[in-house]
Amino acid sequence: MLDRARLRARARRAYERGRLAAASRVALIVLPLTALCAWTTDAPGRCAGAGFALLVVAILVRWRQHRGVRAVDAGVVTGIIPMTAAMLLCRFAASWPADTALGVCAAAGFVSGGLAGRATCASAATGQSALISAAAVAGLTASLGCVGIGLGTAAGAAAGVVLGAGVVAQLPLRGAR
């Protein structure tokens, strides 16, 4: 018969493997987004790097944080806004000035960060770690599209996400007085 310590360690390993497997399902979303980025832009290497970073962060957040699934879902969904804007910019307005592309990515990132912050700060029970995680995932998702234009626009989108999330974090919660 197994002693309690070994049985507990075995159960803990099985539990963590299951959590990691569940967290890894985010790859079903991230990998097609990465392929879409590589297909629509002229920078498949940068898209692959941004996609890999997004995948690693998303899996780690979903696996290790209590509300990680909600934070990653909010980050990916809201990060698609600047990603789509940048991909459309790459596809249909390739001759736009770099400053305009940076402005579009940063503005879309700001909206994305605000939405991600609002989605994760809906109640006082949600900690700051969920907000930070959602903003990080939204920034990486945004940079996935903006990296096709250039690294500067990807950084602008990520900075816009951080600023948008920071502004929303300062607003009072719904129902709070």
Containing structural domain, residue 42? 4-170
Which pLDDT score, from 0 to 100, does residue 175 have? 55
Flag whether 22 is in a domain. yes
Flag whether 177 is in a domain. no
| Stretches in the chain below the pLDDT threshold 70 | 1-2, 90-96, 98, 122-127, 173-177
CA-CA distance, 22 to 9, in Å (whole number)?
20
Which pLDDT score, from 0 to 100, does residue 1 have? 57
Flag whether 62 is in a domain. yes
Which pLDDT score, from 0 to 100, does residue 130 have? 82
Which pLDDT score, from 0 to 100, does residue 177 have? 46
User: What phi and psi values does residue 30 have, to the nearest 5 degrees?
Assistant: -70, -40
Which pLDDT score, from 0 to 100, does residue 52 have? 95
Tokens of 16: 């963590």
> How many structural domains are present in the chain?
1
Sort 49 into a burial class: Cβ within 10 Å, 0-12 / 13-18 / 19+: middle
How many other C-beta atoms lie within 10 A of the C-beta of residue 31?
Answer: 13
Q: Where are the beta strands (DSSP E) in the chain?
A: none
User: What phi and psi values does residue 118 have, to the nearest 5 degrees?
Assistant: -70, -35
Q: Model's pTM, two decimal places?
A: 0.82
Single out the residue of 37, 24, 60, 63 nearest to residue 157, CA to CA: 37
